[in-house]
Amino acid sequence: MRLADLRGRSVVVWGTGREGQAAVAAVRAAGPAALAAVADTADAGQFAGVELSGGEAARARLLAADVVVRSPGVPNTHPWVRELRERGVPVTGGSALWLADHAGRTVGVTGSKGKSTTSSLISHLLTGAGRPNAYGGNIGVPLLDLPDAPAYVLELSSYQCADLTDSPAVAVVTSLFPEHLDAHGGEREYYRDKLNLLAHGPGLIVVNGSDERLAAELGGVRDAQGRPPVDATARFTVADGRVLRDGSPLFDRAALRLAGRHNERNLAVALAVLEGLGVDPAAPEVAAAVAEYRPLPHRLTEIADPSGLTFVDDTLSTSPYSAVLAVEAYEGRPTTLIVGGTDRGLDYAPLRAGLAGRELTVLGIPDSGERILRELDGLPGVRTELAGDLVEAVSLARAVTPPGGVVLLSPAAPSYGRFRNFEHRSEVFAEAVRATA
């Protein structure tokens, strides 16, 4: 479905955040017969210049619509979404509407981890190679608000992927593990929604082939030419401090200012995308752009400290799998890991498995910290201690981390409840580091 298809139809936009605002503006310009907005918890009033309904009136408005445009925050498991689909009311999203008109100029990146770094790295490297592009998606810029550009690089969440009826010209998947199961209805449903990015004839598919779960879920997926996905990590590797293409050196690994083997795999994916778009990864301007790339905030972001300890803000690590990758990034150094946050009922057995055979200290903070520590109980080499809050955890970490060690906030849980958002958790962590220096 395209925006032009909404002309003369009754359309309801579901959601009153930035995505909702962008959708109202875009749909209004398409010329619908009627346009309104709803939010299941809102009071009646006005939103972005259209009538806003809430509560039971919102449900009635949705059911009377010809088309519903939902914001990414409205989950598939919402009872009204299920009811709309049972009644045959089309439900789409702003990302799907936008991509229907721009797929041929777009690189779309998704993944349970690595999509932010990989998409921003692709955009940066393309710019460095003389390929201007606009970067957006799940980074706070709704697709419907993107400016006109010769090309686009998008970070796409599972929520955005779920409604797509068009695949981008280049579809990229960085990793796959269970996430956001409450919003999708289960592990199978999450994988289905995530991999919907690949389901509509992309011109090229690039994946991190070293991810076993991703490889298993791809099945017989093919691009529009009938080709299997490109395994970026088979073609681009790291050995002896060099980044290699099919065994031939491209540039020094040190040029990439990102810690961890998982970021080497992210780089491999980015280089494979460039190659698929006709940019030679061996070109000097690509190596120069890699060296100029700076890590995104809140992802293994190191905080300077006079003690010699390395404090690391990885607050966007909200799953046990991503916490394990963060620990691996500092392999060989004494490590204290701070975990805990909003308890979504995640299974922390993968964290126990990932920390097996390692020696480190794990500090748990509310709300899920105590449950995580119970999962790690008795694990050889892993010392655990419960802290009352994040500030106390930083003080404890200073006391128990050996000189030259790493204090890693990779909480394996979201921030809501104790903090306004992940930025607030980062601020509290950084301030505690400064206050205890």
194 known member of a binding site: no
112 annotated as ligand-binding: yes
Residue with tokens 């805990």: 340
Separation of alpha carbons 58 and 73, rounded Å: 16
Contact 300, 407 (CB under 8 A): no
| Residue 117 counted as an annotated binding residue | yes
Residues facing 289 on adjacent strands? none
* Token pair for 400: 């128990």
Which helix (H) or strand (E) segment is 363 a member of? strand 360-364
Distance separating alpha carbons of residues 201 and 226, to the nearest angstrom: 9
How many residues comprise the chain?
Answer: 437
Q: Residue 194 is encoded by which pair of tokens?
A: 């995530």
Chain centre to alpha carbon of residue 185: 19
CA separation, residue 119 to residues 46, 218, 220, 270, 319 (Å)? 36, 20, 25, 8, 20
Residue 294 to residue 243: CA distance in whole angstroms = 18
Instruction: Centre a 10 Å sphere on the Cβ of residue 404 and count the other Cβ atoms it contains.
Output: 11
Give the contacts of 386 (CB within 8 A, at least 6 positions apart).
363, 364, 369, 370, 373
The strand pair at 230-231 and 170-173 is best described as: unpaired
Query: What stretch of H or E contains 222?
Result: none
Output DSSP code: residue 9.
Answer: S
Q: Tell the residue number behind the tokens 């090309």, with chain if given.
A: 151
User: 118: closest CA among 40, 208, 197, 180?
Assistant: 208
From the annotation, which residues make up the binding site?
111-117
From the annotation, which residues make up the binding site for ATP?
111-117
